[in-house]
Structure 1
Amino acid sequence: MMSEAQEQCELIKWADSCVKTNIHPELAMLYAVPNGGRRDKAEAAHLKMQGVKAGVPDLCLAVPKGKYHGLYIELKVGKNKTSEHQDRWLQNLSRCGYAVKVCYGSRSAKQAIEKYLKLGDCC
């Protein structure tokens, strides 16, 4: 089984390929939110002062589709579950008009992205 980081790398590699081949040029607007990982206390405090917040989803596709302003994805592997902070962020983003999805692995995330992209233009 791959780690979340490895699954995310796979997803980004796929997205980059889709942009290069013009299959899904919108995926140029897919970016990662580097909230995870281990940091010492000083670095964590510094990042917090810069606005890093616990629970923000791993990925954002900043492309409006259908009734949504964009898509946020929380990527998980195995039996990992979302934390309270993550659940709160996902609920708030949903209330604010964003599509949100918890995906287990890169394959699930690809499917969620492709489904989202089929919603059509919002404007």
Structure 2
Amino acid sequence: MTNSGIPPARTPPPPRRRVLKTNADGSPRKRPVDWEGNEQAVLMRWLLGEKMRGEPVGQLYDVTYHVPNGGQRSKSTGAAMKRQGVKSGVSDLVVMDARGGWFGLYMEFKASPPHTAALAESQREWLAQAENRGFCAVLAVGLEEAKAVLRAYASLPSTRPGREDYRPINIGGTEWRKG
């Protein structure tokens, strides 16, 4: 206690730094690089740029999303995500746009060589399942192949019904449409 009756301030302990694992020779290992994630981010930036330039493939930007199924997580987070519906093998990118007779596109994205990971059996099964249900299912290895796939998909004719033909069928749930 100080003379004023106030206990002295405690200094917090220094922050703990995560200790990197070491190689056999004792040198620290380099942090792993997410080659696939980095390339996929570049792909999405490219798609946004194509949208801003008014290119046909850019129309897919607003309806393309990533399914965050991969990555390192703790066991408890992984278990919670599994309870919430995360499934093994789900493709990385989904394009929610019906074209060329397909209901949409599921794209499994892999990094360019030499960083290409093998296609897991669960990923192969998911692509087959998507294709059997009327979706275009594609494995794209590398940025350039993924761009080519998206350009080709965007060039297909739209198979959405016209707005005048649109008749939503109510199967329950809470109404979300305005008016």
Selected match of 1:47 from 81, 90, 112: 81
**C-alpha separation between the residues in 1 aligned to 2:148 and 2:34?**
18
Structure with a larger share of its residues in strand:
1
1:27-38 equivalent positions in 2, closer than 5 A = 27-38=61-72
Moved over 4 A (4+): none
Q: Which runs of 5+ in 2 are unaligned?
A: 1-32, 161-179
Larger radius of gyration: 2
**C-alpha separation between the residues in 2 aligned to 1:61 and 1:115?**
13
Q: Which has the higher contact order (CA 8 A, sep 6+)?
A: 1
SS of equivalent residue, structure 1 residue 87 = helix
Q: Which runs of 5+ in 1 are unaligned?
A: none
- Using the aligned pairs only, state the percent identity: 32
Q: Does residue 84 of the first structure (1) align with residue 121 of the second (2)?
A: yes
1:1-123 equivalent positions in 2, closer than 5 A = 3-23=35-55, 24-77=58-111, 78=113, 79-123=116-160
Deviation of 1:47 (Å): 0.5
Residue identity opposite 2:147 in structure 1: K
Structure with a larger share of its residues in helix:
1
**C-alpha separation between the residues in 2 aligned to 1:103 and 1:118?**
17
TM-score by length of 1: 0.93
Structure 1 residue aligned with 2:171: none
**C-alpha separation between the residues in 2 aligned to 1:88 and 1:30?**
21
Greater shift, 34-43 or 24-33, is seen at 24-33
In the alignment of these two chains, the number of paired residues is 123
Note the alpha carbon deviations across 1:20-59, whole angstroms, 9 max, x for none. Answer: 2322223210100000100010000011111011100000
RMSD of aligned Cα (Å): 1.5
Note the alpha carbon deviations across 1:10-29, whole angstroms, 9 max, x for none. Answer: 10101111222322223210
